[in-house]
Amino acid sequence: MKSAKEKALTLAEKDKENLWHQISSYNEKKRPMVVEKGAGAWITDHEGNRYLDGMSGLWCVNVGYGRTELADAAAEQMKKLAYVPMTQSHEPAILLAEKLNELLGGEYKIFYSNSGSDANEVAFKLVRQYHQQNGEPSRFKFISRYRAYHGSSMGALSATGQALRKYKYEPLSPGFLHVAPPDNYRRPPGQSVEDYNLQRAQEFEEKIIWEQKETIAGIIMEPLITGGGILIPHPVYVKKVQEICKRHGVLLIIDEVICGFGRTGKAFGHQHFNIKPDIITMAKGMTSAYLPLSVTAIRKDIYDQFDTEEENSHFRHINTFGGNPAACAVALKNIEIIERESLIERSSELGERLLKELANLTDHPYVGDVRGLGFLLGIELVENKETKEPATAERVAKIINGCKEHGLIIGKNGDTVAGFNNVLTISPPLSSTDEDFEFIVAVLQKVFKENE
């Protein structure tokens, strides 16, 4: 019998031999962490090392690991009925669509896909088709923000505003434009957050006018920029963007792929801002990543353009796996857990506590800003607090590695090209216990102390 350590080494060797990891090749240089199991907020590797997963995987395991209820929901559904193409229908898909409408406040048609990227592709395609069928075929362009991430497929990558992720794959899809997002920490000295946010929102309108409004199909944005470094807008910004969209006949797509399902302390991030998006995309936390599933929710009156007597007015888009019965059953059970355990309220409460506990970090020589909404926190590291020069990659890595040595996994986000890959991100399962919470705070305080 192999010891756990020997087994871990063998797996790591086989991994190195056969696997190509996502995002980078750094796993080829150092041994990858091969994860064996998870329970609650914690994961364990094959050598028996335990880590609190302060990123919920990729911001997705909202209800934590080891939920047998979710495994049972999937198994029961698979045994009963494994597959139905969504040209037809089935009970979990119907009940989930009804549940999502309850969370969204009604008025949406639910279209299923597999990933966040897929959901955004669906949004772009149907917005273009909507304008064609609504008598405005010249509207084809989308505006999004620099620093935002919207996915890896060609359209979603085109909407993404992070150059380093894109430049080796160009030319991407034509018709995607970008404006700068609000970055309150770096607003001009002396300008109020409100004025600054209104000015940033105005950039959308300027872009629409300069580009000729009859060519603009939609705006896509997250309620707050997550992967680009936790950039939380003032509410006036979001309200103004919606007003601009309405004024110019542009549809507003809100990407809730990370912000949905309680992450920001509300069911959906846009609900902080009292707006009614035309289209909402969601994925990750919908199933807590136990199975892949995503949704594009479309306002019903937009859908009406696709439900006419005219030939070919239907939405010509199909995917094989979207709305998989087991994935829908898992999503329903996942939402039931979120509601039963009041995890949305918990996210809001834990997030507020975390911001309070970590507020003192701004006294640290390299911490420029600590910000968050719900259980989604960003710590912006700088070299110099006066100039706000972003922290070097080495300084950021020291904190991340220090946390890992103490058993806490955290993330790093921003936009590398602009030098802003300096925002530590903390986004643990919403089901984290009080002890988990105290562990996160203790490790962060300790690691920052060690790196003064």
Residue 222 binding ligand PMP, by CB under 6 A: yes
Minimum CB distance to ligand PMP smaller for 49 or for 152: 152
Which of these segments, 116-124, 125-133, 267-275, 307-315, binds ligand PMP (CB under 6 A)?
Answer: 116-124
Q: Closest separation between CB of residue 373 and ligand PMP, Å?
A: 14
Binding window for ligand PMP (CB under 6 A); candidates: 11-19, 30-38, 112-120, 377-385: 112-120
Instruction: Report which secondary-structure segment, H or E, holds 299.
Output: strand 294-299
Residues 6+ apart with CB under 8 A from 387: none
- Minimum distance of ligand PMP from residue 415's CB (angstroms): 14
Q: How many binding residues for ligand PMP (CB under 6 A)?
A: 16
Give me the least distance between CB of 304 and ligand PMP, in Å please.
Answer: 27
Q: How far is the CB of 205 from ligand PMP (least distance, A)?
A: 23
> Distance between CA 19 and CA 29 in Å, rounded?
13
Q: Minimum distance from CB of 204 to ligand PMP (Å)?
A: 18
Instruction: Give the DSSP per-residue string, 112-168.
Output: EESSHHHHHHHHHHHHHHHHHHTT-TT--EEEEETT----SSHHHHHH---HHHHGG
Contact present, 111 and 298 (Cβ < 8 Å): yes
Ramachandran region, residue 143 (left: φ > 0; alpha: ψ -120 to 50; beta: rest): beta
Partner residues linked to 142 by β-bridges: 176, 218
- The count of other CB atoms within 10 Å of the CB of residue 93 is 24
Residue ranges in 42-71 that form contacts with ligand PMP under rule CB under 6 A: 58
| Minimum separation from the CB atom of position 191 to ligand PMP (A) | 28
Nearer to ligand PMP, 219 or 283 (CB): 283
Give 24 or 68: the residue with its C-beta nearer to ligand PMP.
Answer: 24
Instruction: Please tell me whether residue 191 adopts helix, strand or coil conformation.
Output: coil
For residue 361, the one-letter residue type is L
Residues of this chain, 150-189, that bind ligand PMP according to CB under 6 A:
150-152
Report the alpha-carbon distance of residue 183 to residue 3 in Å, rounded: 50
Give the nearest distance from C-beta 222 to ligand PMP in angstroms: 5
| Residue whose beta carbon is closest to ligand PMP | 116
User: Sign of the CA dihedral 244, 245, 250, 256?
Assistant: positive
Q: What is the CA radius of gyration of the chain?
A: 22
Give whichever of 149 and 237 is closer to ligand PMP, judged by the CB atom. Answer: 149
Compute the distance between CA of residue 380 and CA of residue 56 in angstroms, rounded to an integer.
Answer: 20
By CB under 6 A, the residues from 401 to 420 that bind ligand PMP are none
Binding segment (CB under 6 A) for ligand PMP, from list 18-26, 110-118, 372-380, 403-411 = 110-118
Residue 396: Cβ within 10 Å count: 20
Give a three-class secondary structure readout of 233-291.
CCHHHHHHHHHHHHHHCCEEEEECCCCCCCCCCCCCHHHHCCCCCCEEEECHHHCCCCC
Q: Which is nearer to ligand PMP, 292 or 368 (CB)?
A: 292
Q: Considering the rule CB under 6 A, would residue 268 count as an interface residue with ligand PMP?
A: no
Minimum gap (Å) between residue 76 Cβ and ligand PMP = 25
Residues from 232 through 261 that contact ligand PMP (CB under 6 A): 255, 257-258
Does 117 bind ligand PMP (CB under 6 A)? Our answer is yes
Contact pick of 73, 127, 283, 391 for ligand PMP (by CB under 6 A):
283
| Distance in Å, CB of 365 to ligand PMP, minimum | 31
* Residue 264 and residue 238 in contact, taking contact as beta carbons nearer than 8 Å: no
In the complex, least distance from residue 292 CB atom to ligand PMP, rounded to whole angstroms: 8
Q: Which stretch binds ligand PMP (CB under 6 A): 71-79, 83-91, 222-230, 324-332?
A: 222-230
87: how many CB neighbours lie within 10 A of its CB? 6
The answer to whether residue 149 forms part of the interface with ligand PMP (CB under 6 A) is yes
Q: How far is the CB of 17 from ligand PMP (least distance, A)?
A: 26
- The three-class DSSP label of residue 89 is coil
Residue whose structure tokens are 């998989």: 324
d(CA 15, CA 446): 33
Q: Which helix (H) or strand (E) holds 336?
A: helix 325-340
- Report the amino acid identity of residue 122: V
Question: Does residue number 227 form part of the binding site for ligand PMP (CB under 6 A)?
Answer: yes
**Of residues 118 and 205, the one with the C-beta less far from ligand PMP:** 118
**Interacting residue with ligand PMP among 115, 264, 305, 334 (CB under 6 A):** 115
CB nearer to ligand PMP: pick between 255 and 436: 255
Closer of 40 and 223 to ligand PMP (Cβ): 223
Interface positions with ligand PMP (CB under 6 A)? 58, 115-117, 120, 149-152, 222, 226-227, 255, 257-258, 283
